[in-house]
Amino acid sequence: MSADVVQLPASKKRINKAGDALRRASAGEVIPDDAFREHLEIVRAFRACHSYPLTNVAMGLRHHAQKAAAGSWYDAGQRLKQMATIRDKLCRLPGTNLARMQDIGGCRAIFLDQETVDAAIASIEQRAKRGTWDIVDIDDYVAAVQRKDGYRAKHVIVRKRGVLIEIQFRTTVQHNWAQLVEELDKATGLGMKQGRAPDWAVEAVAAAAADMRQYELGVVDRPTLVDALNSSLRPILDLSNTGGKIV
C-alpha cells in the first residue's frame, strides 16, 4: 500500500457490513453485544481514518478560498461527521454503503457571492488538471435546484489519501438559509435534516429559499425579504419558540 493512502480498519466489504449492522440495530434488530461492539468499533475507526486527509483538504481549500476572495471576506472550516449523524444517514438512505459515503469528512467554504464561489472551484479544478487534486465529482445545486426543500450550494467531492472528502461551497445567502432551516428544525423537531419533515414544511422552506434567492439577485430589499420569509415560513414559525416572527 502506498504511504500516501490511509490504512483502513478493514476491507471495504467488512466496513459496509459494519455500517449495515449499525443500520439494522437502529431499526430495532437485536444484534449480539459482542458482534455489535465489533461492528461499532470498525465504523468508529473508519470515521477516524478521514481525520488526517480532511485536514489536508481543508488546508488546500483555505489557499484557494483566499486566492478567489482576493481580499474580500470568506470563511472556511472542516468537520468530521458525528457517529449519530452517520447512523441517521445510513437509516435514511438504505442503499448507502458506508465505505462509499462521501461526507464523513467535510469542509465548507462561504463567500459573499456566487462569482467568488465559482472562482474558488475553478482554482481547484485547475490544480486537479496538474494532478494536485483528485476531483471525483461536482454536484451543482445552484444552476438547477434539485432538492425539494430549495437547498442551494455546490459540492465538490475529492479523494485524498484514499478516502472521500466533501467540500460544500455556499454564498452567504445560501448559508443563511441553511442556518435558518437548521434553527427552525431544532425549535420544532420536524426532522428536516433527517428527511422526516412533512410536505407542507418542505414546501415552506423551499418558498423561503426562493425568497432569499430574490434578495441575493437584488430583486428585493431586506425589509421586503423579511416580510416574505415571515409569510413563507408561517406554518413552521407558528410551531416554533422563536416568537412566531423573523426580524
Question: Are 199 and 209 contained in the same domain?
Answer: yes
Residue 80, all three cell numbers: 468530521
- Confidence band for 4, pLDDT divided at 50, 70 and 90: confident
Could you tell me if residue 179 is inside a domain? yes
Could you tell me if residue 75 is inside a domain? yes
Work out how many domains the chain is built from and give that number: 2
Residues 152-162 have a mean pLDDT of 97
Residue 79, all three cell numbers: 468537520
Question: Are 73 and 121 contained in the same domain?
Answer: yes
Burial class (CB in 10 A: 0-12, 13-18, 19+), 42: buried
Could you tell me if residue 126 is inside a domain? yes
* pLDDT beyond 80 at 16: yes
Sheet of 163-171: strands edge to edge? 74-80, 105-111, 163-171, 154-160, 135-140
What is the domain extent for residue 203?
Answer: 173-237
Q: Among the three residues 137, 171, 205, which one is the final residue of a domain in this structure?
A: 171
- Confidence band for 1, pLDDT divided at 50, 70 and 90: very low
Burial 117-149 (b: 16+ CB within 10 A, else e): bebbbebbeeeeeeeebebeeeeebbeeeeeeb
* Of 61 and 189, the one with more pLDDT: 61
* pLDDT beyond 60 at 243: no
Measured over the CA atoms of residue 196, residue 199, residue 204 and residue 205, the dihedral's sign is positive
- Confidence band for 245, pLDDT divided at 50, 70 and 90: low
Nearest in space to 150 (alpha carbons), one of 231, 206, 226, 219: 206
pTM to 2 decimal places: 0.91
Nearest in space to 106 (alpha carbons), one of 157, 165, 155: 165
Could you tell me if residue 4 is inside a domain? no
| % pLDDT > 90, the chain | 83
Structural contact between residues 164 and 158, judged by C-beta atoms closer than 8 angstroms: yes
- Cβ-based neighbour number of residue 24 at 10 Å: 16
Question: Are 118 and 193 contained in the same domain?
Answer: no
| % pLDDT > 70, the chain | 96
Could you tell me if residue 31 is inside a domain? no
CA distance 182 to 174: 13
Question: Are 112 and 189 contained in the same domain?
Answer: no
Question: Are 195 and 161 contained in the same domain?
Answer: no
Could you tell me if residue 19 is inside a domain? no
The CATH number covering residue 125 comes to 3.30.460.10
Could you tell me if residue 3 is inside a domain? no
Q: What does pLDDT average to over the chain?
A: 93
Nearest in space to 145 (alpha carbons), one of 209, 219, 217, 199: 209
Lowest mean pLDDT among 158-172, 182-196, 208-222: 182-196
**Nearest-5° Cα angle at 192, 214 to 93:** 115
* pLDDT beyond 60 at 32: yes
pLDDT tens, 58-94? 999 999 999 999 999 999 999 999 999 999 999 988 8
- Confidence band for 244, pLDDT divided at 50, 70 and 90: low
- Confidence band for 149, pLDDT divided at 50, 70 and 90: very high
Question: Are 179 and 164 contained in the same domain?
Answer: no
